[in-house]
Each structure stands twice: as structure tokens, then as C-alpha cells.
Structure 1
Amino acid sequence: MPRWFTALFWTSIALAAVVVGLSTWDAFTARPPEPDPALKRTVKIVRDQWGVPHISGKTDADVAYGIAIAQAQDDFRDLEESLAAVRGRAGAISGEDGAKFDFVGHLLDANAVAEKGYASLSPATRALVEAYAQGLNDYARKNAREVRLQGLFPVTGRDIVAGFALRSPFFFGLDRPLSALLDDRLPPRDAGPADERGSNAFAVAGRRSADGTTRLILNSHQPWEGAVAWWEMVVHSDAGWDFAGVNFTGAPFGLMGHNKVLGWTNTVNRPDLIDVYKLVLDDSGKRYRLDGQWRDLEQRRVWLRVKYGPLVLPIPRTVYRSVHGPVIKNALGAFAIRFAGIGEVGQVEHYYRLNKARDFADWQAIMATQGVPATNFIYADAKGHIGMFHNALFPARAPGFDWRGVLPGDTSKALWTAYLPWSANPHVIDPAAGWVANANNTPFLSTAPANELKRSDFSEDMGIETQITNRAMRYQARFAQLGNQQISREQLLSIKYDKGYDRAGWAGRWWDEVLALDTKGRPDLQKAQALIRQWDFTLDCQGAADTLVALAFAQHARFAYLQKPVPNARAGLEDAVAGLTRHFGRLDPPLGDFQRLRRGKVDLPLCGGPDALRAMIGDISADGRRVGNNGDGYIMLVEWTAAGQVKSESVHHFGAAATRPQSPHYNDQSPLFAAERFKPVTFPAKPAG
């Protein structure tokens, strides 16, 4: 818990006798929402044999209403928690952890951003988010026993938009400077995620495929549970919305997938899109200096309602804001944060329009509106076009500043107010090699070397990432092995499921360090070294050293991905040897016995490992097994034949019923996922009747 939170909590405890009335407010306020008889929806939800909802409606808004109903049926728990965070009431459900989200929501002023930007959305988009909110309200009214936080409903379209404003900047690393500043530390100089999350994406043009088929693989790595776990759907409206793919709780449309003529997937990128400014305050601490003039520091008192046992205690907190953006005061001074897309809600419009894009030109025109502040887009379509787009809202920064460090907050010369056009972003379109890919790596490693972009063509002030993951090195090597031959479906899937590690990358450096360790007097470590010396640099569940390696280099993989100094290899080796000896009585148990997929009564072996293209990340359970919870999750293969006909297959790591253990679809796809197989996607959905 941050120090500021601890202090305020105990202050509130001292006032508990005064605020008992407030503490019970969340449990006894507003009644469940009443339906609006004027809002009738023509929608039908039909689930396939895997429980995936096929949602059809007369209008797009009808479909959005159905998405809300189906999503609530599968995962009302995470929906409610997401909405509570938007409303500043997550602490009333989740205690201290939820209160942190509430504080950030107040700091970013997400609700005010949504309110201000709502009118800028098209009438069709506003109708969509309002219908989605209506679906959530109707579900909550009809299923009142599931509602944990009374007074949360009814929600509005503005709440849905605020959810995007709140969540978006964390996908390109806002949590890192925020966490540092709240802990009285300077922010890191590098951009990127705060934890080990990744994605893979591949597209192969029909002219390079053995059968003339254009293929797109969606393989975005997200946590396997929670508000940002993938949820699958297929939709149809009589107004021309046909889409198959996935979204997160709180989204009234697909975030990645395909329609009849085109599709895309995303991988998280990490360009430098966040700037931190050191403010100069006057003696009162209430004004800051800018261009020689003193300005009032905006401040607002907020209350974080935090659940402790049966009580919900109000904890006061002050949030500050300057012209730069939200401000955090700590032991080092006052720091303002400015990030790409600050104060904007265009991504709601952007994603909705992408769902209905008609061709490559239309799709690119939508992308050029720059509604999505950051994330790579990998594209393919029925005409055989492919592309890798390093999408980001790059600030138009003035030269002469250290944009990676803390910036001076007293001069407007360092305060950017505009962005570079989308055409300035790195992108590779229809390369001669006939393929593009990304695995959270620099955009200058997106296709065959002869077709790559040049780093020197882009300004250093853009802060374009230089990261090269093991996954990127592996797909480069695997495609290179194919030479100029046509790429078959099986070969592409073999690359996607690759479990190897590049000898020239961090895994090779770890291997060298382990084998160089002085293990005199430690026969157990000497035995481990001998086993690791035999390792073939794959975690395919075939080698005797696979489990020992997967366990021993896990922290190396994590720190390499986060671009942090890697930990000492000896400690990881010692911990791995001790754990395997304690739980297995040997150093060479099969990897499939150690690495498991567990969900309800399902308990299955998993191959692969951290930062492999078959990425497996998890936590060690009480019985010494690593249980998967991140990495490879939802996967979709989209194919357009030479004649332009589309079909797709997909697999989810668990199933459609995200938080419904009683449902047969709680874990029915897990055997397919563990076996690296797919299920068919029935597309398009049938019209509502």
C-alpha cells in the first residue's frame, strides 16, 4: 500500500464514529434501475456449441444492447468491478486495491473527460454506447441478486466512454511513472509495461501462401482472468455490421477480429508517449510558475470509499492539476504528467468505425483519425493486402529537451499541444517478402530484412521503441529458414507455436552465465549445470532439462522483457533446484508435469515458456507446479481464399463463461487450447428473427 494511503487510512479510522452513516451508504442507496418502455430492442442471442454468443439485431445499437446482455451473462463480476472503477467506487468492492483505481480515476478526471468529449462522438456512436449501457442496466435489474454494489446502476453511455478514457493510457505504460511518483521516486526513463505481458501477430499475403490464401493470426497476450481478459463474440446487424472477434468488459464492439472483407489484431507497443514535468511552486504550494507567470494549481478534494470488513470507510485525498495534466506531490516535489490522448475520447469512435470498415482505403482513413493513442495494428484483407502499423499518437515535441527524463515545468517550450500525423508513424505495407509480424518489438523488425524500414528515417524525439524480444528473433529466424518458398498454413502455425529461444538473445546470455557459475561444494548445482548444458534451447516438453530451465530463467525472461537489469543467475538456479527437489524429488520432471492449465476440474499439461512464441507465464502453486495465468490465450486464425471468401477458427484458453463455474463453457475449450487445436467460428451470425 502506498505511504499516502496508509496514513490517510489510519486518519479515517480515528474518525470512524463520525462516518458510520457514510460507511453504509454503498449498501443501502438507490433502487435497481427501472426499464424504459420507450427503448425496445430487436435483438437475438444464440450460443454455439462452445457457448460463444452470436448476437444479431435490426440496428447496430440493438447489437450493442445484446453484447451487454451476453457479456453480463458470462462475466457480470468483472463488468461490475470495471464500472465501479469508472464511478470511483472500486474500493467499495475490492478494498485497498480497488481504491487505488478510484484515486487514479479522480487523478485523470476520466468522467469529466467523457462528459466533455461526449458531444464530439457521432450520433451513431452515442446510440451504440447508450444501448450498451441500457443492456447492462436491464441485466442488473433482472438479476439483482448478483449486484454487490447497490447504487452503481443505472449506468450511462458516458460511463462507458469514461471507461475507455480511464483504461487507455495504462496500455502504453502510465502505471510506471504513476507508481514511481506515488512512492517518492523519479519515473523511469524508459517507456513500457509494468509487468510481463506480450502479444504475437502474423499476416501472410495470398501471393506468398502455398494455396493463395491470405492469413492473419490474432494472438494477443492478456491475463487469463479479469477485466482485460478476452471475451469472444460474433455479431450481425441489418445495418451492415458483421464482425467476429473479441473485446474486454465494458466495450460495446470488437477490439480485434475480422469482418467479411478485412481484419486486424493488436500488439502492445511501448513508444515514449508520456512526459513528466517538474513544477516550480511558490511558498504556499498553491501556485506554479510558467513562462515567468504564477498560475493557480487546480485542486479538488475527493473521497475514496474503501471496504474493510462490513464497513466502507471514506478516506480523503486531494488531487491536483496544472495546464500540463494531473499533478502528484511527493517528497521530491510536484510533478505533472502529460500523455498521448490526454483529454480525448476518440478511440470509442475509432474502434466502432473499424468494425465496419469496407476496404483497405477506408480502414486507413479511419486509422488516420488517430483515435487510438497507442498499439500496433497488424492488418490483412480479402484483396491480399497486409500491413504492420506502429500506431501511436506521437507528440509534436520541440527539439532541445531530454524527453526521456524529467522536463522543466516552468516553460511552455517543453509543453506540446499537438501530434504528428498518422502518416509519420512507422508502417510496412505489402512488403515484397509477403509477410509481416510483431511480438512487442521495435517496428524496424517487422518483415524480411530487405524490406525493413530504416531507423534513421525517424526522429529520436519520437521515442520509438528499440526493444527486440526473443519472440521477434524467433519469427525472424523461422521465416528466414523458409527462404523464398511459399508458406503453407501448417508452416505458419508452426511459427506461431514455436517454443524456441534464440542463442543470441537473453536466453543465451543466461545459459552462458549459469554454466560459468562456480559450483564447487554444491553437487546439486553441478548436476543442474550438467543438465542445462544438454538443453536444446526449446521448451517443447521433450527435453530432460526443460522444466529446470523454465523455472530457473523465469525472472531473467521477465526482467529482459521489462528492459531492466537482469537478476543474478545463481539465485534463480538455486531456487529452481530447491523447488524441484522438494516437490518432485528430481531435477528433470517432464515440463508438462510441471506447467499446467488449471480451471475447475480441468488440469492439463502446457508446453512453451516465457517470451517464447508459445508464451506461457504463470505462478507457482502450493504443489510446486507453475499454473498458467498469462501469455498465449485467445488465438484466432483468419483466412481469405483467393476468391475473397473468409473463414476463421479460434480457441480460448478457458471458455466463454468467464466467471460461471457451473457453466459447461467455463473450461470446455481448455483441452483444445492445451493441444494447440482450434474450433470453427460460425460467421456471419444469422439475422435476428
Structure 2
Amino acid sequence: MAQLFKWLSRLFGVMAALALGALALVWVLVSGSIPDYDRDFEAPGLGARVDILRDLHAVPHIRGESEADVFYGLGFAHAQDRLWQMETSRRAAQGRLSELFGERTLPVDQMMRALDLYGLARGALASQTPEARAALEAYAAGVNAYIRAVGREALGRGAPEFYLFSSAIAPWTPADSLSIAKLVALRLTDQAAVDVRRAALSLLLPAARLRDILPDYPEGAEIEPLKQASGPPLPGPASFAAQMPGARFPAARGPAGLQTLSPPGEGGASNAWALGPSRTAAEAPVLANDPHLWFSAPSLWHLARLELPSGGVIGATVPGLPLVLIGRNADLAWGLTSAYVDDADIYIEKLDPDDEGRYLTPDGSEPFRERTEWIGLANGDRVETTLRWTRHGPVLPAAQMGVGDVTPAGHVAALSWTALTADDPTFSAGFALMRARSIDAAREAMRPHVAPALNITVADREDVGMFVAGRAPLRSAWSPGQGRLPAPGWIAANDWQGYVPYDEMPAVMRPESGAVANANNRTSDAEYPRHLSFHWGDPYRMRRLRKQLAAREFHSQDSAVALQNDAVSEMARAVLPLIASDLWWTGAAAPEDPVEARRQQALEMLGDWNGEMSEHAPEPLIFSEWMRRLTLRLAEDELGPAISRVEGPRPEFVERVFRDVEGAAVWCDIDKTSRVETCPEIAALALDDALNTLAERYGSDPRGWRWGEAHEARMDHEVLGGFGLLGLVVNIRHEVSGGDYTLMRTTSAGRGNEPYASRFGAGFRMAVDFADPDGSVFVIATGESGHPLSRFYDDLTELWRRGDGIRMSLDFQDAEAGSVGLTRLLPSRIGADAARD
């Protein structure tokens, strides 16, 4: 036995030594890709030396003698920090993710090949201004300089993720950058998905009940168009069933798989406001912006400061793009919110019954444009894919957005979207905005912008403004579906008639009120077809923003930051009294039934609640689960499996039902029973459902529950985050306050096993005060580095969680204080460098 123990001990020692050796080897290999911010690099093609000063949080401050050299430096800095993120982004746009990830991403690649974003990006190069194209080329040269340095100096393959994949890193091109711009635009539109959802539900519900479950925006516009067309009243939209008689909602749906197009409600959101001198304590404009997009680790955003010959620019960039997308220069600050312009339509194309290689048009049948492509897989196999296009756009796979559910036999669905064009100077518009020096120049700069449609909030040293930029399709006044439903492609009245002229888009410059604001609310009261959209964001954030801006006469940068972190839900304040009022006054004083006793306890807690979605409180969790269960109780019997399309809290629907708008209280009656149920009865049942679910998960005492335990912001690494214990290292997670309808927006799916896990929110915040512009504050939700072992991978995340930010100045000396390194890019002789390569 002693001898056995001795040999087992030796074996364990050898295994431990081997394990430690393997870990050491992994550490040496992986840590080699952590960027060294304090060294010199040879930079072929550079005109003169470029300095990349990394401040206390590794934010790059880039200085060079020419504009091209500065953008070269930005490309180098982006590649240092986010090379893997840039590589996967361009592969996504190219439809080449499956070469890394195998069949799992094949549906995404097939869809991206159909959209042909990369081909359109290549074509769009010709539409850029000479200055913008020069920036794209210089940026690509900077990225490639770092890629060469990785190979030449064995810098750990540039990122640890590359050790998992054998594919070489191809040189960066200007088209790669433009394709990422189109990819971001794709993530910011959900209009096509909204149309498909409306069509699917319209096959199950009469028109009045469809208006309940998918209500129109309930309030007027905050910005008026400069001009509005007038004319005789138009006919109302025809039903989808009338337009598409063969469409039938299926009894059951198969798994959706990976989706490329954003589902309804996930097309991007944001808050932005600006206050002129008459509304600020220091009598200088203040601007605040916090775009709400998908969470990830690393973040979509990367902070940077560029010292251009025309002046400094600072703010948020997207790795892959040589552009400060949101930020400020010495004289102008700008912020962006999603404009919710209806920029996409689904067309149902009828196949020619005599030849399925053709489809019907108003002028007869036409052949599909077809192309066969091969998509490579990680195991070396290739999959043949036949891609088809109609005159309206690419044919969509049936699984995308569930278009197959609303496409009759003998038909296919095609997508029209404003960004599906090579005539796209969007990048040049953003480039000109970055260099504009006044609010009027900013508006003119965005004139050629195509997609995504955006509300641009601007402030210069004198005043503020807001305007909508982007192509807004003009539809025929006689279109049966008015762009709200998938349209028969063979009817000429459904074709777009051009775009709304830029000068007729909503705008307000130098308002008398001294304030402009947007929370994805309705911006135009124009009638169809110049209405811009039927689908807007929720009204509750705008109500809160309007109320808080009016609550004090003068504001400051500090009050702007506080408002960005405001977690009070005007939705809860509006809806809770509707669903709880009868229950508050009809419960027994001392109920004997434990179920009723717990219900009374919860109602008492909610009665004392002020609507603040605090992570430390139980009331937000009780209310949110009640709303979720109430939606199910109200709609599940009418919708059946289609409830998945609207699952989650739907407060505007609940308001209509409990106010009995246009007879909406009929939803409270369960149509499978002989008696007529009332809304208070359904509210009580839903509350019991919610409390039972929460008790099973969080314990029997509601006072011990916490919103933050369920409501966790999840910034997960898209590749390494799912690898067991490795996820604990690379995923960044925080309990957070706020919710779907608060200014501090952290949204959740409202369904599944973790309905309140938040994967969408304000990953970047900015507040600029022209009384002290160099005291302006910025923050992103993670850190600058994409390397999980870097201390700058998540060093900003705690500041973000607390609602704080970092001061970012255009003064280079401010950045030098506490800086963590200076990278110098030094021009090299072309001949010597070529010989080295």
C-alpha cells in the first residue's frame, strides 16, 4: 500500500507539473498578445511620426502632422485593442463566419451573402468624398501596419482568440470599414421584422384587436417637419389577409435559429437632449447622449481622441471605422438616436406558375437574378448556396424573422431596405459631421446620409438643434398596406416612389424653448405617406425626459449625468394604478388564505413604491413579473403559439385593456370558458402567477427579493464566454437598476428562463458642457482593450455601473497626466521594409 501511495504521489506530481507547464505555456502565448502601449513601431507608408498617447484608462490620444497620418494612427490603435472584434465584424459582413465557427453560423452567412453587404460596400467607395476616402485608405494602412507587426515581432497573433483558429488575418481594406458601417445599420433597423409580426398576428385577430396588441404611438410628435404635404383623406390600409388570400398562420413554428435581422423592439434605441444658454446654469449649451445598443465584451464602442490639422475631435468610435461617431470637437457636440424611420419593406413575390425561375411584376414575369456561392466551413467542407434577388431586393430564407409564416405556397419574400445600395455616401456624411463647427454646418453635413436613419442632436457654443437624417422611403398614397405589412410585389402601388426630400425631414433649430430632446419618440405628425413611420419607441422615456427637463429652470452637466442615470419608470407609475386599484381596495383585512395573504403583502409593497427600478428593491421585480404574467393571461388564449411574438411586458396593450379603449377590455374574458371574466380577476390571477414563480426562485418572503438579482447586465464575450469556467474570466456582468422603460435603460427579453437578464442598454454615455468643454465626461460599459488579460479590459465597467464617467479633454497635456504609455509610429523606408517582409 505504501508503495502504491508512493507511485500515485509521483504520478500526481508529474501530472501537476505538466498541468502547470501547460498553463505557463498558455500564459506566455496568450499574454504575448497584450498590447505594449509604451514602445516604438516601424510604420511603412506613414508620412511623419505619429504619437499615440494612452491616458490613465488607455484611451488613445493620437497626434500627427497630417490628417492621413492621424487616421493611420487610429487604425493602428484600433487593431492593437480590438483586432479580433474587427476581424469577426468584417467576416460577419462578408458572410464568412462559418470558416471559423462551422455550421452553427451557416444561416447567418447565407443571409449576409444574400444581402451582399460587402459587395455594396465595395461599390460605395466610389460614392465617398476624396477626404473621406483618403481617411479610409490611411486607416486601412494603419491596421495593416499592426497586423504586420504582429507577425514580424511575434505579438501573440494579435489577440488570444486567434489561437483557437488557424485562419490567417487578411489585410484590411477600405471596403472592410464600409461593410462594418452597413452591418451596424442592419442591427439598427427592425422595421421589416415589425411588418412580419403585424402580418402574422393579423391572420389571427380582427383589426380592432390587432390595434390593441400592436397599438399606434399614443402621443403627438416632439419635432415638426419644416413642411407637410396636404391633400384629401386617404383610404385606410387593407388587411394582410385581403392582400394575401393564401396566407395562413401555422399551427406550430419550428426553431428560428440564428437571426441576422433584428427582431421587433431590438432595432436600436437611445436618449439625447441638448439645452441652450437660456436653460443652463452657466449660460452655455449642454448636450447629453446615451445610445442603447447590444451589450458585449468588449463593447461595441471604443473611446478615442484625434488631433487633426483642422482641430481636435474626441468621443466614441466603432473599431473598424475611421470616425468619431458620437462626440465633440472644439466648437460642436453631436449625439445620435435611432429615428425609427420605416426604411424597410418585405415584398411577397409570386412565382411564375409556368417557370419557378421567374416571378411576377406589374409588367409580366421577370427572371430572378441568381448567383451560386460556396460558403466554407471550419472543417474544410464547403456548402453550395444559391442566392436570388428580385427587383425589390434579396430573397429571404423562410426562417429569417419568421417570414415563412406569412408567405403562401408559390411565393417568396424579398427585402427592400434603404441601405441595400452602392450609392451610399453615409460614411462621408459622418466624416463631414465630425469636422463641422456649427449646428447649421452639422445639418448640411448630414444631407447625403442614407442609413441608418438617425435623429442628430447638436450643440455649438451658441445654441442647440435636432434634425432627422437618412433616406425615408416615399410610398404611394394608394398602397394597400401603407408599408405596415408585407406587400404583394406584383402590384405597382406598393413600389417606393422615391424618398422624402431632406429639407422636409423633421428639424428644429434654435428652439424658443431652449431645449431639444429625443427618446425614440414620434418626430413627425405628418400624415401617410410623409409620416416617416407607424412604429416608434415607447412613450414613457420621453414623458420622463420631458418632465425632468421642465422640473428645473436651469440645468448643468451634473444634472444631465443624473438624468442619464434616472431609474424611475413612468410606465410603472401609469400602469400600476390601473391594474392594482381594485385589488388594493377589495382584499380581506386579515386574509386566512396564504396565497391571498402573500398577494396582499405584495400589493401593500407596491402601494408604497414610487416606481424607481432600483436594483436593491423587490418592488421592480414583483411589478415586472406581474406585467409579464398579465400579458400572458390576457393574450395567450387568443394567440396560442403566436404569443411568442409579443411575449413579455406590453404596457401600452395593458393600458388599452384596463382603460377599455375601443372595447379592449374584451381581452380579459377567457374565451375558452362559459363565464365572463373581469379585468380585476385576471389581474389577481396574474399577480398570483408572478408571486408563485418568484417564490420558487428567490424564496418565500417578497421583502427579501431584489431586482438586481434578476436584472443583470450581461456583457458576454461572443466566442469565449460560453466555455464554462472561462466565461467567469471573459464575461462582464453587473446587477443594475433601470429597466425597459426608464431613462437608465437596460432592456430584457421578457421571456425564457432568465427573462430579466439585460443584454441591451446604454453601453456608452456622454455629457458635454460648453461652459467647460474639457470637463466633459464619457464612459463605455467595458474597457478599451479587447484582451481579457489586460487590465484595460474592464477597468471602466465599475464607473459605468455607478453612472460615473471619465473626463476627456482636447488638451494633450491633460492626457499626459497619469498616462500609461506612448506608442510612437515611425516612418520606415519602403525598400528596407519590403526586404524585411
TM over 0.5: yes
Q: Secondary structure in 1 aligned to 2:373?
A: strand
Alignment of 1:576-595 (within 5 A): 577-579=692-694, 582-583=697-698, 586-589=701-704, 590-591=706-707, 595=711
Contact 2:269 2:520 in 1 (8 A): yes
Question: For residues 588 and 303 of structure 1, do their structure 2 counterparts lie closer, same or farther at Cα, with a shift above 3 Å needed?
Answer: farther
d(CA) in 2 for partners of 1:479 and 1:101?
Answer: 43
Contact 2:453 2:470 in 1 (8 A): yes
Residue equivalent to 1:368: 447
d(CA) in 2 for partners of 1:542 and 1:677?
Answer: 19
Alignment of 1:18-417 (within 5 A): 37-38=44-45, 42-144=49-151, 145=157, 146=159, 147=162, 148=165, 150-173=167-190, 176=193, 194-196=264-266, 197-225=268-296, 229-237=300-308, 239-282=309-352, 283-307=354-378, 311-328=379-396, 330=398, 332=408, 333-343=411-421, 344-383=423-462, 385-401=463-479, 402-403=481-482, 404-416=484-496
Shift of 1:153: 0.5
Shift of 1:475: 1.2
Residue equivalent to 2:595: 522
Contact 1:272 1:465 in 2 (8 A): yes
Q: Secondary structure in 2 aligned to 1:549?
A: helix
Which structure would you say has the larger RCO, counting Cα contacts within 8 Å and 6 or more residues apart?
2
Match of 1:611 among 741, 752, 755: 741
Contact 2:560 2:767 in 1 (8 A): no
Residue equivalent to 2:227: none
Superposed CA offset, 1:162-220 (max 9, x none): 22234323312266279879x99999999986345531111111121122121011211
Question: For residues 583 and 40 of structure 1, do their structure 2 counterparts lie closer, same or farther at Cα, with a shift above 3 Å needed?
Answer: farther
Shift of 1:125: 1.7
Shift of 1:412: 4.0
Contact 1:396 1:419 in 2 (8 A): yes
1:428 aligned onto 2:493: no
Question: For residues 540 and 47 of structure 1, do their structure 2 counterparts lie closer, same or farther at Cα, with a shift above 3 Å needed?
Answer: same
Question: For residues 318 and 471 of structure 1, do their structure 2 counterparts lie closer, same or farther at Cα, with a shift above 3 Å needed?
Answer: same
Alignment of 1:474-485 (within 5 A): 474-482=544-552, 485=553
Match of 2:605 among 531, 541, 562: 531
d(CA) in 1 for partners of 2:321 and 2:651?
Answer: 28
Alignment-mate amino acid for residue 173 of structure 2: T
Structure 2's unaligned 5+ residue stretches are: 1-41, 152-156, 205-209, 218-261, 399-406, 632-645, 656-666, 668-681, 716-727, 816-823, 826-837
Alignment-mate amino acid for residue 264 of structure 2: A
d(CA) in 2 for partners of 1:578 and 1:136?
Answer: 51
Contact 1:651 1:679 in 2 (8 A): yes
d(CA) in 1 for partners of 2:542 and 2:465?
Answer: 16
Contact 2:450 2:470 in 1 (8 A): no
Contact 1:244 1:257 in 2 (8 A): yes
d(CA) in 2 for partners of 1:408 and 1:582?
Answer: 48
Q: Secondary structure in 1 aligned to 2:372?
A: strand
Shift of 1:592: 5.3
Question: For residues 363 and 489 of structure 1, do their structure 2 counterparts lie closer, same or farther at Cα, with a shift above 3 Å needed?
Answer: closer
Superposed CA offset, 1:216-241 (max 9, x none): 1121112231587221111112x315
Question: For residues 507 and 361 of structure 1, do their structure 2 counterparts lie closer, same or farther at Cα, with a shift above 3 Å needed?
Answer: same
Question: For residues 63 and 97 of structure 1, do their structure 2 counterparts lie closer, same or farther at Cα, with a shift above 3 Å needed?
Answer: farther
Alignment-mate amino acid for residue 153 of structure 1: A
Superposed CA offset, 1:319-356 (max 9, x none): 11122211237562122221223303311111111111
Contact 1:370 1:422 in 2 (8 A): no
Superposed CA offset, 1:362-421 (max 9, x none): 2111122234441211111112x2122233311132210022123232244432252121
Alignment-mate amino acid for residue 532 of structure 1: L
Question: For residues 618 and 138 of structure 1, do their structure 2 counterparts lie closer, same or farther at Cα, with a shift above 3 Å needed?
Answer: farther
Alignment-mate amino acid for residue 415 of structure 1: D
d(CA) in 2 for partners of 1:379 and 1:558?
Answer: 37
- Count of residue correspondences: 635
Bigger drift between 508-517 and 149-158 goes to 508-517
Shift of 1:547: 4.1
1:664 aligned onto 2:791: yes
d(CA) in 2 for partners of 1:481 and 1:91?
Answer: 53
Question: For residues 507 and 121 of structure 1, do their structure 2 counterparts lie closer, same or farther at Cα, with a shift above 3 Å needed?
Answer: farther
Q: Secondary structure in 2 aligned to 1:677?
A: coil
More helix by share: 2
| TM-score (normalizing by structure 2) | 0.68
Alignment-mate amino acid for residue 472 of structure 2: F
Q: Secondary structure in 2 aligned to 1:326?
A: coil
Shift of 1:357: 1.0
Question: For residues 626 and 184 of structure 1, do their structure 2 counterparts lie closer, same or farther at Cα, with a shift above 3 Å needed?
Answer: closer
Contact 1:528 1:577 in 2 (8 A): no
Q: Secondary structure in 1 aligned to 2:794?
A: coil
Contact 1:597 1:674 in 2 (8 A): no
d(CA) in 2 for partners of 1:562 and 1:270?
Answer: 20
Superposed CA offset, 1:601-654 (max 9, x none): 88765332232112234689999996654323321111112xx86541122222
Alignment-mate amino acid for residue 199 of structure 1: S
Question: For residues 37 and 537 of structure 1, do their structure 2 counterparts lie closer, same or farther at Cα, with a shift above 3 Å needed?
Answer: closer
Contact 1:548 1:588 in 2 (8 A): no
Alignment of 1:460-479 (within 5 A): 462-463=532-533, 465-479=535-549
Bigger drift between 415-424 and 432-441 goes to 415-424
Contact 1:301 1:319 in 2 (8 A): yes
Superposed CA offset, 1:487-538 (max 9, x none): 3444444333222122564565565698699996624444333332332211
Contact 1:540 1:546 in 2 (8 A): yes
d(CA) in 2 for partners of 1:298 and 1:572?
Answer: 54
Larger Rg: 2
**RMSD over aligned Cα atoms:** 4.0
Question: For residues 131 and 468 of structure 1, do their structure 2 counterparts lie closer, same or farther at Cα, with a shift above 3 Å needed?
Answer: same
Q: Secondary structure in 2 aligned to 1:353?
A: helix
Question: For residues 463 and 607 of structure 1, do their structure 2 counterparts lie closer, same or farther at Cα, with a shift above 3 Å needed?
Answer: closer
Q: Secondary structure in 2 aligned to 1:304?
A: strand
Contact 2:314 2:328 in 1 (8 A): yes
Contact 1:577 1:587 in 2 (8 A): no
Contact 1:89 1:102 in 2 (8 A): yes
Q: Secondary structure in 2 aligned to 1:104?
A: helix
Residue equivalent to 2:803: 676
Contact 2:97 2:105 in 1 (8 A): yes
Residue equivalent to 1:16: none
d(CA) in 1 for partners of 2:372 and 2:687?
Answer: 46
Shift of 1:260: 0.9
